Structure 1
Amino acid sequence: MSSFKLGVINGCFFFVVVVVVVCLFVFPREVNHNFEDVRCKCICPPYRNISGNIYNINVTQKDCNCLHVVDPMPVPGHDVEAYCLLCECKYEERSSNTIKVTIIIYLSVVGALLVYMLFLLLVDPLIRKHDPYTQPLHNEEDSEEMRPHADAGLARGNTVLERVEGAQQRWKKQVQEQRKTVFDRHKLLS
């Protein structure tokens, strides 16, 4: 193989190794305290001369209410109850580990498909051989001469690539025959 192809293969391998190492350092096994899995979110609309605000605090589900979440309280003591009735508080849970695993699986699949695509781009020209019988059929004599050779080539299709090439050749023959009949009819009509 050429040095370019070896360089591309080595580059792909290096890329996969770097992605795995980065994933191991970015997504550590123990849960970070920066990414909390539970929170209470209170959305408080504007009240009198106070603008609306959103409050997020990590509390238990039983403490998920305006009195425990809104800190500092923007209204004086006698308006707290009216202000808290306007606020909508929701307890939210998520699994950051599940999110991390899903992202790692997704990136791994995309990376594997990219490596496979590069592999096919490099290996496909080596596997495919130039077949002189794949030239377009121009006239009837050429099609009669090439038909036995092409049929013999189609019979040996034991690998997937050969079967695909055989199907492609049959399709090309059908297209050429359709062109020939259309042009013959056109000549007949004119």
Structure 2
Amino acid sequence: MTSKGLVLISLLLICVLGATAQSYDDRRCKCVCPSPSAVINSTQGSHSDRKLYIANVPPNKCNCDGVILPRVGEDIKGKEQEFCPRCECIYENRNTTIIMVVVIIVIWVIMLLVVYMGFLICLDPLLNKRTKASYQEHTNEDDDGFISPGGSAHPMGVRGNVLNRVGHQQDKWKQQVREQRRNIYDRHTMLN
């Protein structure tokens, strides 16, 4: 994926998140109250049945009179003094812009990791093909250079490029892992 494609996708995400962010308010009043039927039928009412009321009002109107009574005032007429003390109202202030920026950053990181994983998946067969074709046994790991028959030193030894060196290290690591597994399983069977 090119950088133009990533920029296009990120602009699209910003537009979509910007459009959805407009449907949410950064400030709101959230009230949790019992069901109006709990006050009207006080003998049959279930006190565990709670209702949530959300309104976009200023902080000084975040109470039963400003949020709940305009909605259910007709249902509980005459029982307001019994209903309102049971309500809990909380004024919430959040920043949806920061939430949107964090989501975009997380999506960018995930996209970069997916591109990197794709790159590594494409590079793996190339590394394995080159290392198997030009592999020669290297007996001295401390030897940094290889003296050719003409007497000149090659700074990178027998493996003349970075891909071969990385492939050699990968093969060496895989061999060490196989040997460690074999040792662990042999020791495990000897203990039993």
TM-score (norm 2): 0.63
Structure number having the greater helix percentage: 1
SS of match in other structure, 2:139: helix
Tell me if the contact between 2:127 and 2:167 (Cα under 8 Å) persists in the aligned partners.
no
Which of 13, 18, 28 is 1:23 aligned to? 13
CA positional deviation for 1:126: 1.9
Aligned residue for 1:36?
Answer: 25
Relative to structure 1, the CA distance from residue 59 to residue 169 in structure 2 (aligned partners, 3 Å threshold; closer, same or farther) is closer
Match of 1:99 in 2: 99
1:171 counterpart = 2:176: yes
| Cα distance in 2 for residues equivalent to 1:68 and 1:156 | 80
Whole-Å separation in 2 of the counterparts to 1:43 and 1:173: 61
Counterpart of 1:48 in structure 2 is 40
- Relative to the length of structure 1, the TM-score reads 0.63
Judge conservation of contact 2:25–2:56 (CA < 8 Å) in 1.
yes
One-letter code of the match for 2:17?
F
Q: Contact 1:61/1:91 (CA < 8 Å) preserved in 2?
A: yes
1:95 and 1:80 map into 2 onto residues whose CA distance is 34
Q: How big is each residue's C-alpha offset from its partner over 1:31-76, in whole Å with a ceiling of 9 and x where there is no partner?
A: 62x2101111111113233874321101122211000001221311
Contact 1:43 1:87 in 2 (8 A): yes
Report sequence identity in percent. Answer: 25
SS in 2 for 1:36: coil
User: 1:69 maps to which residue?
Assistant: 67
Q: Which residue of 1 aligns with 2:138?
A: 150
Aligned amino acid, residue 108 of structure 1? W
CA distance in 2, matches of 1:151, 1:176: 23
- Equivalent position of 1:142 in the other structure: none
1:110 Cα deviation from its structure 2 partner: 0.3
Shift of 1:88: 1.0
CA distance in 1, matches of 2:63, 2:181: 76
* CA RMSD after TM alignment: 3.8
Q: How far apart are the structure 1 equivalents of 2:8 and 2:122?
A: 22
In structure 2, the residue matched to 1:131 is 132
Cα displacement (A) at 1:96: 0.3
Q: Residue 30 of structure 2 contacts residue 92 of structure 2 at CA under 8 Å; is this kept in 1?
A: yes
Runs of at least 5 residues in structure 1 that lack an aligned partner in the other structure: 1-11, 135-145
Q: Alignment length, in residue pairs?
A: 154
- 1:143 corresponding residue in structure 2: none
Amino acid at match of 1:83: F
Quick one: distance in 2 between partners of 1:61 and 1:165? 62
In structure 1, distance between residues paired with 2:181 and 2:53: 71
The 1:92–1:169 alpha-carbon spacing in structure 2 relative to 1, beyond 3 Å, is closer
Using the alignment, how far apart are the partners of 1:116 and 1:89 within structure 2?
A: 48
The aligned amino acid for 2:76 is V
